[in-house]
Amino acid sequence: GAGVSQSPRYKVAKRGQDVALRCDPISGHVSLFWYQQALGQGPEFLTYFQNEAQLDKSGLPSDRFFAERPEGSVSTLKIQRTQQEDSAVYLCASSLSVTYEQYFGPGTRLTVT
Amino acid sequence: DAKTTQPPSMDCAEGRAANLPCNHSTISGNEYVYWYRQIHSQGPQYIIHGLKNNETNEMASLIITEDRKSSTLILPHATLRDTAVYYCIVRLFLPGGGGTSYGKLTFGQGTILTVHP
C-alpha cells in the first residue's frame, strides 16, 4: 500500500527565499508529525497535528517556520526567509492516532546556499 | 521523556544475531521502549516496542530487563540490508491518547550497526 510521501525530495534555496515542503500521509491517519534532521544527528521533533488541529508546535525553531494541515490530510511545512542553518532533512510521519507507531516518509533534503 | 544511552557503533557478521543494547535507567511506569532504524537516505522505520514484557515480531525481538532500566534489540539473523542506525526511544504513553505532545519521538544519536559479509 501507499506509504507517506513527501515532495520535493530535494530543494535548493538561496538564503532569504521562502520554501514549502509537502507531506502526504497514509490515508486515514489522524496524527501527523514533522521532524528536522541535521547531518549526522537524529531527527528532532518540530510539530504535531491531530486531524487539522496543530496541538504541539513547541519544536519549531523560530517564527519563520509555519506548518498547516487545513483539511486534516496533506500538510505543508513552510519556512520563510531561509537561513543556512535551516539546511537539513525534513521528515514527515503519520500514525493512526497519537499513541500508535509512526510511519515516516523519505524526507525532503533542504540545502540553503 | 526519559533519556536513553546506546553505544555509538557495533559490528555484526552476516547470518549471526545482532544484539543492540540500550540503557534507560530513568524510565517511568507510563513510558514504553520503542526501536526504530534508519537506513541511509531513508526515513526512520518502526521495528518494535514494549512496556515490560519481552516482545517478538517478524523483524526482531525486544528483551526488557525486569527493572525496565535497560533493553536489548535482537536481530536473529542479520543481513547486509540490516546495516543502519538503530534508535532506542522511550516514549510517554497515556491510555486514551491525549491532545498534546505524548506522541512525539525523541531520538538520540543511535547505534550505527554495520553488518559485514
Q: How far is B110 from chain A (nearest CA, A)?
A: 7
Give tens-digit pLDDT for B22-74.
999 999 888 899 999 999 989 999 999 999 989 999 999 999 999 999 999 99
> What secondary structure, in 3-state letters, does B13-52 show?
ECCCCEEEEEECCCCCCCEEEEEEEECCCCCCEEEEEECC
Distance CA B74, CA B65 (A): 14
Cross-chain residue pair B107–A42, CB shorter than 8 Å:
yes
On average, the pLDDT of chain A sits at 95
Give tens-digit pLDDT for A13-38.
999 999 999 999 999 999 999 999 99
Q: Which residues of A touch B44 (CB under 8 A)?
A: 43, 91, 93, 104
